[in-house]
Chains A and B, each alone.
Chain A
């Protein structure tokens, strides 16, 4: 097929899931991601799939938990307040070692906030996943094409690591319209994974999906197994992109929609005489620590640009480990910075040495 089509980020997210075989969607309406459940309710029945509108995000994530137990390619999508409600279910999925895909089209907060773009769920995505010793593998696309591609990839990553994957985007990415190249829709995998429930018919022993381990050493072993999967992901699923000058004075770090703004800003700063480079993490957990550490040895300063009051910057500082100064440029509450503001800040940083 390889069809190229103009579509919104929400539509690309939904189609990207269907295209890799996702046939089960459970969700609850919340702006700015409503086009995803609408798209699923329209297109999943065409391919023999199931769309269920849950009574709440709490129910939606637990429906995902149930569907995931059978080995299904299953997804839910929401926005910040709804993702808060899903934290319990995500923790149970991690504890029960279940795969699944969750998309968060982040909006302004805290509280009910607004439906503007924000990146203030960085901690919720990368540290969150409710209580206990587990996390979501988290990826941050920055275009409609990447929403399509990464939503698709998330299903195999989730199955490989038996852990939920979160796609972290925002209100702008959800609603912007760009060309998107699509591949043909694939079928749902025929064979369920060897751990899935579905009845003891085949003469196999019982399968149990469970996160209760009253024996403390056993729980520790489970947590160590989960931690080893994260270590494995850190060697296999670290993704980032780089743009700009090969010998930069200033390094800019930004992800998602902020990185789109910074692409322009970095180019203009370089043109204005300050060699600047952008490192854009695509995987937020596992975090591309090494590339940032390497640049930290070679640049004068690092500027972190994010749509929150300093969440992503902490991971950058952990990677930098004091090798160079790290400054933060934020907007919050649904507001965004202009590329020229970022350029000015880069030039100021270069001059204030």
Chain B
């Protein structure tokens, strides 16, 4: 009898230690699940689960403290970066990340994220931008595209009524306290791999105490975009990426290497 196949096979896909087995509450076709998994894989690969703290914020990801298999703190709406500051200043030996949507980060929490970056706080922000308030049922967000219909822009976003979309990475790129800054998406395996690479670099920047790091993930919300999952992915590529181009804006670790060589 031949040996079982598992003795020779290399595991390519295992459940990350850094995710609990709690059933997630996210909608079908939503990219929160991919984002959670990528973060968990990075935490596993860096071997930091036992000193990582997840900061859950307010929005669809409010239950993130149930999903990440680490110590966790739930923060008030938009205040994740202030809470992370308080934790990191008292326990600099920990690894801290906030997980924030566009309502949380770009609307009510804009001051907190900008000033955390300005102070070069040593923590990581994962910014989920799906251009809509998901948990409250699809209202306009600061990142909502021009012309996009939401439950509070029923005729489409106009400048007169709702102003212009806010590009968070482009704002943060001007702040010297930022050590790693990238915008990624998750609509194809290629993009997913790039997103994971950026998340890892953001955590590594924190581990090297280089300053503030943020990865924006251009994400889908099929439910409140009223699209099928694949239509939502097509919408990201066709309509969101022109407004939110994928880019590594800041990579101080790489810049340091170039200077040294």
State whether B91 touches A63 (Cβ < 8 A): no
A44 to chain B, nearest CB (A): 11
Give CA–CA (A110, B89) in the complex, Å.
Answer: 34
Check A206/B86 contact, CB under 8 A, given A199-B50, A201-B51: no
State whether B87 touches A211 (Cβ < 8 A): no
Check A55/B73 contact, CB under 8 A, given A66-B82, A197-B87, A198-B94: no
Check A200/B70 contact, CB under 8 A, given A55-B111, A59-B111, A89-B76: yes
A81 to chain B, nearest CB (A): 17
Cβ contacts under 8 Å, B86 to chain A: 24, 26, 62-69, 74
A89 CB contact (under 8 Å) in B63, B79, B89: B79
Residue of A nearest to B71 (CB): A197
Cβ contacts under 8 Å, A1 to chain B: none
Check A72/B90 contact, CB under 8 A, given A62-B82, A62-B83, A208-B73: yes
Residue of B nearest to A214 (CB): B63
State whether A66 touches B87 (Cβ < 8 A): yes
Query: Interface digits, B97-136 against A, CB 8 Å rule (1 contact, 0 not)?
Result: 0000000000000011011000100000000000000000
State whether A88 touches B76 (Cβ < 8 A): yes
State whether B50 touches A211 (Cβ < 8 A): no
Cβ contacts under 8 Å, A209 to chain B: 72-74
Within 53-88 of B, Cβ neighbours of A (below 8 Å) are at 53, 56, 62-63, 65, 69-76, 79, 82-88
A54 within 8 A of B: yes
Cβ contacts under 8 Å, B49 to chain A: 200
B106 to chain A, nearest CB (A): 16
B52 within 8 A of A: yes
Cβ contacts under 8 Å, B63 to chain A: 212
Cβ contacts under 8 Å, B112 to chain A: 55, 58-59, 62
Residue of B nearest to A96 (CB): B74
State whether B73 touches A66 (Cβ < 8 A): yes
| Best-buried of A24, A52, A55 by chain B (most CB within 10 Å) | A55
Cβ contacts under 8 Å, A60 to chain B: 82
Give CA–CA (A65, B82) in the complex, Å.
Answer: 9
A56 within 8 A of B: yes
State whether A206 touches B50 (Cβ < 8 A): no
State whether B79 touches A62 (Cβ < 8 A): yes
A207 within 8 A of B: yes
State whether A63 touches B82 (Cβ < 8 A): yes
| Best-buried of B70, B75, B76 by chain A (most CB within 10 Å) | B76
Check A62/B76 contact, CB under 8 A, given A50-B90, A56-B111, A67-B86: yes
Majority secondary structure of chain B interface residues (helix, strand, loop or mixed): helix
Give CA–CA (A65, B89) in the complex, Å.
Answer: 12
Give CA–CA (A64, B70) in the complex, Å.
Answer: 21
State whether A67 touches B87 (Cβ < 8 A): yes
Cβ contacts under 8 Å, A156 to chain B: none
B71 CB contact (under 8 Å) in A67, A88, A207: A207
Check A198/B74 contact, CB under 8 A, given A66-B82, A67-B86: no
Cβ contacts under 8 Å, A62 to chain B: 75-76, 79, 82-83, 86, 112
Residue of B nearest to A53 (CB): B119
State whether A52 touches B85 (Cβ < 8 A): yes
A84 to chain B, nearest CB (A): 15
State whether B83 touches A199 (Cβ < 8 A): no
Residue of B nearest to A52 (CB): B89
Residue of A nearest to B88 (CB): A66
State whether A201 touches B74 (Cβ < 8 A): no
A257 to chain B, nearest CB (A): 32
Cβ contacts under 8 Å, B53 to chain A: 197-199
Cβ contacts under 8 Å, B51 to chain A: 198-199, 201
State whether B83 touches A208 (Cβ < 8 A): no
State whether B69 touches A206 (Cβ < 8 A): yes
Give CA–CA (A88, B76) in the complex, Å.
Answer: 8
Cβ contacts under 8 Å, A89 to chain B: 76, 79
A197 CB contact (under 8 Å) in B62, B73, B76, B82: B73
Give CA–CA (A199, B49) in the complex, Å.
Answer: 8
Give CA–CA (A56, B71) in the complex, Å.
Answer: 27
A232 within 8 A of B: no
B206 to chain A, nearest CB (A): 14
Give CA–CA (A56, B115) in the complex, Å.
Answer: 10
A70 within 8 A of B: yes
State whether B115 touches A212 (Cβ < 8 A): no
A198 CB contact (under 8 Å) in B69, B91, B111: B91
State whether A63 touches B89 (Cβ < 8 A): yes
Cβ contacts under 8 Å, A294 to chain B: none
Check A65/B74 contact, CB under 8 A, given A55-B115, A197-B53, A199-B51: no
Query: Interface digits, A5-38 against B, CB 8 Å rule (1 contact, 0 not)?
Result: 0000000000000000000101000000000000
Cβ contacts under 8 Å, B70 to chain A: 199-200, 206
A-B contact list, 6 entries, CB within 8 Å:
A52-B89, A66-B84, A198-B51, A199-B52, A209-B72, A211-B74
Across chains A and B, which 10 residue pairs bring their CB atoms closest together, nearest first?
A66-B86, A62-B82, A63-B86, A66-B83, A199-B51, A67-B86, A55-B115, A62-B79, A197-B71, A210-B74
A residues adjacent to B (C-beta < 8 A)? 24, 26, 50, 52, 54-56, 58-60, 62-70, 72, 74, 88-89, 92, 96, 197-201, 206-212
Known contacts A58-B111, A66-B85, A210-B65; 4 additional CB pairs below 8 A are A24-B90, A197-B53, A206-B71, A208-B73
